[in-house]
Amino acid sequence: MTAQHLHSIASGKPYRIAVLPIGGDPSLELFLGDAEFCIDGGEPLLIRGHGVPLGDRVRFHEKDGVGGKDVRVWHVSQADGGFVAESIAAF
Protein backbone atom coordinates (compact mmCIF):
# COMPACT_ATOMS: atom_id res chain seq x y z
CA MET A 1 0.00 0.00 0.00
CA THR A 2 1.38 3.39 -0.96
CA ALA A 3 1.18 6.47 1.22
CA GLN A 4 -1.54 8.01 -0.94
CA HIS A 5 -4.01 5.29 0.09
CA LEU A 6 -3.68 6.27 3.76
CA HIS A 7 -5.48 9.57 3.20
CA SER A 8 -9.23 9.97 3.39
CA ILE A 9 -10.75 11.71 0.37
CA ALA A 10 -14.26 13.12 0.49
CA SER A 11 -16.31 12.44 -2.62
CA GLY A 12 -17.77 15.58 -4.17
CA LYS A 13 -15.40 17.95 -2.36
CA PRO A 14 -13.18 20.10 -4.63
CA TYR A 15 -9.50 19.96 -3.65
CA ARG A 16 -7.13 22.71 -4.77
CA ILE A 17 -4.39 21.42 -7.06
CA ALA A 18 -1.15 22.54 -5.44
CA VAL A 19 1.32 21.13 -8.02
CA LEU A 20 0.38 20.95 -11.70
CA PRO A 21 1.51 18.25 -14.11
CA ILE A 22 4.80 19.02 -15.84
CA GLY A 23 4.33 20.58 -19.25
CA GLY A 24 3.58 23.85 -20.96
CA ASP A 25 1.40 26.72 -19.92
CA PRO A 26 -1.15 26.06 -17.15
CA SER A 27 -4.25 24.66 -18.85
CA LEU A 28 -6.52 21.64 -18.64
CA GLU A 29 -4.46 20.07 -21.45
CA LEU A 30 -1.75 19.33 -18.87
CA PHE A 31 -4.11 16.77 -17.31
CA LEU A 32 -4.74 14.82 -20.56
CA GLY A 33 -3.06 11.47 -21.10
CA ASP A 34 -0.69 10.09 -18.47
CA ALA A 35 -0.02 12.74 -15.83
CA GLU A 36 0.52 13.32 -12.13
CA PHE A 37 -0.31 16.24 -9.86
CA CYS A 38 -0.62 17.03 -6.16
CA ILE A 39 -3.76 18.14 -4.36
CA ASP A 40 -3.88 19.96 -1.05
CA GLY A 41 -5.76 17.59 1.25
CA GLY A 42 -4.32 19.01 4.45
CA GLU A 43 -0.94 17.78 3.30
CA PRO A 44 0.16 17.27 -0.31
CA LEU A 45 -1.27 14.13 -1.90
CA LEU A 46 0.16 12.78 -5.18
CA ILE A 47 -2.42 11.75 -7.78
CA ARG A 48 -1.22 9.86 -10.86
CA GLY A 49 -3.15 8.34 -13.68
CA HIS A 50 -4.73 9.16 -17.03
CA GLY A 51 -6.98 12.04 -18.09
CA VAL A 52 -9.49 12.35 -20.95
CA PRO A 53 -11.44 15.43 -22.07
CA LEU A 54 -15.00 15.79 -20.78
CA GLY A 55 -16.50 19.05 -21.99
CA ASP A 56 -15.13 21.93 -19.92
CA ARG A 57 -13.21 19.60 -17.58
CA VAL A 58 -10.98 16.52 -17.57
CA ARG A 59 -12.07 13.11 -16.32
CA PHE A 60 -8.97 11.75 -14.57
CA HIS A 61 -8.64 8.07 -13.65
CA GLU A 62 -6.28 7.78 -10.68
CA LYS A 63 -4.18 4.60 -10.83
CA ASP A 64 -2.32 2.70 -8.12
CA GLY A 65 0.80 2.74 -10.32
CA VAL A 66 1.83 3.18 -13.94
CA GLY A 67 -0.70 1.19 -15.96
CA GLY A 68 -2.19 -0.08 -12.69
CA LYS A 69 -5.68 -0.56 -11.36
CA ASP A 70 -8.14 2.32 -10.96
CA VAL A 71 -8.23 3.90 -7.50
CA ARG A 72 -10.60 6.87 -8.01
CA VAL A 73 -12.11 9.01 -10.72
CA TRP A 74 -11.61 12.78 -10.52
CA HIS A 75 -13.08 15.70 -12.40
CA VAL A 76 -10.43 18.38 -12.89
CA SER A 77 -11.60 21.90 -13.70
CA GLN A 78 -10.47 25.50 -13.60
CA ALA A 79 -11.59 27.58 -10.61
CA ASP A 80 -10.54 30.80 -8.89
CA GLY A 81 -7.50 31.36 -11.13
CA GLY A 82 -6.21 27.82 -10.58
CA PHE A 83 -7.40 24.23 -10.81
CA VAL A 84 -9.41 21.91 -8.57
CA ALA A 85 -9.93 18.15 -8.55
CA GLU A 86 -13.14 16.58 -7.27
CA SER A 87 -13.40 12.86 -6.56
CA ILE A 88 -16.62 11.49 -8.01
CA ALA A 89 -18.51 8.22 -7.82
CA ALA A 90 -18.26 6.66 -11.28
CA PHE A 91 -19.95 3.32 -11.84
18 by Cβ neighbours in 10 Å (0-12 / 13-18 / 19+) ranks as middle
Q: Which amino acid makes up residue 53?
A: P
Average pLDDT over residues 17-42: 92
CA 46 – CA 36 distance, rounded (Å): 7
Give pTM, 2 decimals. 0.85
**What is the tally of structural domains in the chain?**
1
CA 35 – CA 11 distance, rounded (Å): 21
Is the confidence at residue 66, as pLDDT, over 80? no
Beta bridge partners of 39: 17, 45
Is the confidence at residue 77, as pLDDT, over 90? yes
Residue 9 is part of which domain span?
Answer: 3-88
Is the confidence at residue 32, as pLDDT, over 50? yes
Is the confidence at residue 14, as pLDDT, over 70? yes
- Please give the DSSP secondary-structure letter assigned to residue 72: E
